[in-house]
Amino acid sequence: MRHGKKFNHLSRQTGHRKAMLANMACSLIEHKRINTTVAKAKALKQFVEPLITKSKEDTTHNRRIVFAYLRSKYAVTDLFRDVAAKVGDRPGGYTRIIKVGNRLGDNADMAMIELVDFNELYNGGKKEAKKSRSRRGGKAKGADTTAPAAPKAAPVAEAPVEEAPEAVVEAPVVETVAPEVETPQVEEAVPVAEAEEAPAAETETPTAEAEETPADDTEKKEDAE
């Protein structure tokens, strides 16, 4: 039984463990995300986040402290130049651990650890925050070069502007009357009248003959007597 085990030793000696964590931290700073086991990812999170906090203040002292842990000048340069500009407004929690399943060989729990501000998918394209780097021999803070503000000018009263009515000119309207064309009317009533008189004349002739025949018969009878 191990008593007083404050952190995970990762089954390694002190020198081996520190070298491994420094190597993983350099890979994380360079590639912004790496795949490893869950136990190593948690140990790396505790190792690298204090170094990222140190990179927010770009001084020679902080660079030397970070270099003592990372042991790579290229990783230190990337950390203070690129990573610090992204995480300048974040108060902590610079890394994210996402579990990705189990490894095929020994069924170990695998995870991906990444820098939060470099994941454009989750952040939705967050813009980089510009950070000014401190330099030696800066300007004196006591010298104020601001000029006094000019007095405000009095408001000028505006005179009302009268608008002249616009003259409307109406154009005369010319009416054009089309000449009426009279069409000759054909007299169609004459044939109709003639057609009505013809049957009437025909009907009168038989009646007259019928009336004459009885009179002739009576005359013949009288002559015979």
Intra-chain end-to-end CA distance of the chain, in Å? 183
Q: pLDDT for 167-194, tens place per residue?
A: 555 665 656 655 565 655 555 544 544 5
Strands (E), the chain: 33-37, 95-102, 109-115
Q: pLDDT for 104-130, tens place per residue?
A: 999 999 999 999 999 877 766 555 555
The answer for residues whose C-beta is within 8 angstroms of residue 151's C-beta and 6 or more apart is: none
Q: pLDDT for 21-72, tens place per residue?
A: 999 999 999 999 999 999 999 999 999 999 999 999 999 999 999 999 999 9
Compare 207 and 114 and report the one with higher pLDDT: 114
Distance between CA atoms of residues 63 and 205, nearest Å: 149
Distance between CA atoms of residues 77 and 125, nearest Å: 24
Architecture of domain 14-123 in this structure? Alpha-Beta Complex (3.90)
Total H helices, total E strands in the chain: 7, 3
Phi then psi dihedrals of residue 20, to 5 deg: -65, -45
Per-residue burial over 105-124, b if 16 or more Cβ lie within 10 Å, else e, is eeeeebbebbbebbeeeeee
The full set of domain ranges for the chain reads 14-123, 191-225
Compare 167 and 96 and report the one with higher pLDDT: 96
- Contact between 79 and 64 (Cβ < 8 Å): no
Mean pLDDT of 143-149: 57
Strands (E), 57-193: 95-102, 109-115
- Contact between 48 and 32 (Cβ < 8 Å): no
- Contact between 8 and 39 (Cβ < 8 Å): yes
Distance between CA atoms of residues 67 and 71, nearest Å: 5
Mean pLDDT of 184-207: 50
- Say yes or no to pLDDT of 204 above 70: no
Phi then psi dihedrals of residue 11, to 5 deg: 55, 35
Q: What's the chain's average pLDDT?
A: 77
- Say yes or no to pLDDT of 18 above 60: yes
The pLDDT value recorded for residue 215 is 52
The answer for residues whose C-beta is within 8 angstroms of residue 128's C-beta and 6 or more apart is: 85, 86
Q: Alpha helix (H) ranges present in 32-159?
A: 38-55, 60-70, 73-78, 84-86, 120-123
